[in-house]
Structures are given as C-alpha cells and as structure tokens.
Amino acid sequence: IPILRRALAMSQRPLSLFASPWTAPAWLKSNGDVRGKGTLKGRAGDRHHRTWAKYFIRFLDEYAKRNVTFWAVTAQNEPRAALLAPAAFPTVAFSAAQQRDFIVRDLGPALARSPHAARVLILDDQRSHLPAWAQVVLGNASAARHVLGIGVHWYLDALVPARCSLEATHRLFPRHALLYTEACSGFLTLR
C-alpha cells in the first residue's frame, strides 16, 4: 500500500489499478490446498462461489479504507495454467464456462451490489485461449455486461500469431478491451 500510494502521488495522471487473485483459500478448493490443480468447490451460485466473490469485495473494501481504488479485477490469474502448473503453484483452475458462470451468478452481482466501480477482466492467461475463451464468456450477455475486457499474457506469443488471437477476438468483441496483464522478458525464448 505505501508503494501504491507513492506511485499514485508521483503520477501526473490517475493510475488505473487492477487486481488478480492467485488462489482461493484452501477450504474453498476441491483439493483442500491453496496450491495445485484444484477448482472452487461446488458450482456457480452455491455458498463456495458466493463466498469467493465476497473475498473480492472484502479486498476492495480494505484497500478503499486506505484510499486505494481498483479499476478492475480479474476473475482468476492463469485459470488454465493451473492444469499445467507444478503442484506447489497457488492457483484455481477454471474453464471458460466455469468462469462465465462464476461471473454471472456470483462475482458480477457481488460487484454490482458493492460500492466499488471495479469491473471484471476475463481470461488473464495465454492469448492462445482466444478467441474461444471470449466467445464462451462474452457470448453470454449476462456475463458480458460485467466484463470490461480480456487480460492476456504474452508468454506464448511466438507460437500464436496476433491475427489469430487478438485480431480475431477484437473483431468479435470490439467493445471489450484487450490488455496485456502479465509478461516477462526472456521466458520461453525460441531464438
């Protein structure tokens, strides 16, 4: 929070912050561990999913108490990478349909009822999942109304041409932002 405050104070224009969860608490996950390939227990709309959505609101509440507000939250960081990640990787696995349903039944309504203006970014994983992921989530009008845009990671960019992923997705959903939300230099270099 002190670093965020310093960055906000130093910026000549407002900063738009977004937050992305790594994992739900172990007791909400199917594998009973914050690490590994677990999903949220149950189904969208049940007490586990509603509770996870409440965690998002509590996070925003606590930061707001400290005068830090968020422009957006992602529904999950790397929801598909969870299937490939090492056992020690903290994550929650989601399919596009599971993410859509969580947004429609739990996260979207929780944000709408809250005092926060934060909207949702979907995917927040490799762009190789586009445009299929966006079609499943944004193709649902109830989900799309809560979604500001699509977060993508650049790690596999050399394998997936932009025209096949970003351009195709933009053509389908031109009103939703496409944002690179995570990247690092030198990862999976193919040269």
How sure is the predictor about 156, in pLDDT bands with cuts at 50, 70 and 90? confident
Q: What is the pLDDT of residues 5-24, one digit of tens each?
A: 999 999 999 999 999 999 99
Q: Which whole-number Å values give the CA distances from 70 to 5, 73, 89, 177, 186, in the listed order?
A: 13, 7, 25, 16, 29
pLDDT at 59: 98
Is 102 or 37 the better-scoring residue by pLDDT? 102
| Separation of alpha carbons 23 and 32, rounded Å | 12
Whether residue 83 is predicted with pLDDT greater than 80 in this model: the reply is no
Q: Is it true that domain 1-182 has CATH number 3.20.20.100? A: no
| Separation of alpha carbons 74 and 179, rounded Å | 11
**Is 62 a catalytic site residue?**
no
> Which residue type is seen at 61?
D
Query: Average pLDDT of the chain?
Result: 93
pLDDT at 186: 63
Choose the catalytic residue: 39, 40, 63, 78. Answer: 78
Backbone angles phi, psi at 129, to 5 degrees: -85, -5
**Is 182 a catalytic site residue?**
yes
Is 52 or 156 the better-scoring residue by pLDDT? 52
Cis peptide bond upstream of 131, omega within 30: yes
- The percent of residues above 90 in pLDDT, for the chain, comes to 83
Query: Dihedral of the CA atoms 159, 162, 127, 105 (nearest 10)?
Result: -160
Give this prediction's pTM. 0.94
Alpha helices (H) along the chain: 2-10, 47-64, 96-102, 108-113, 132-138, 141-144, 162, 168-172
Backbone angles phi, psi at 133, to 5 degrees: -60, -45
Whether residue 160 is predicted with pLDDT greater than 60 in this model: the reply is yes
Q: What is the pLDDT of residues 88-131, one digit of tens each?
A: 889 999 999 999 999 999 999 999 999 999 999 999 999 999 99
Note whether 183 and 152 are within 8 A (CB): no
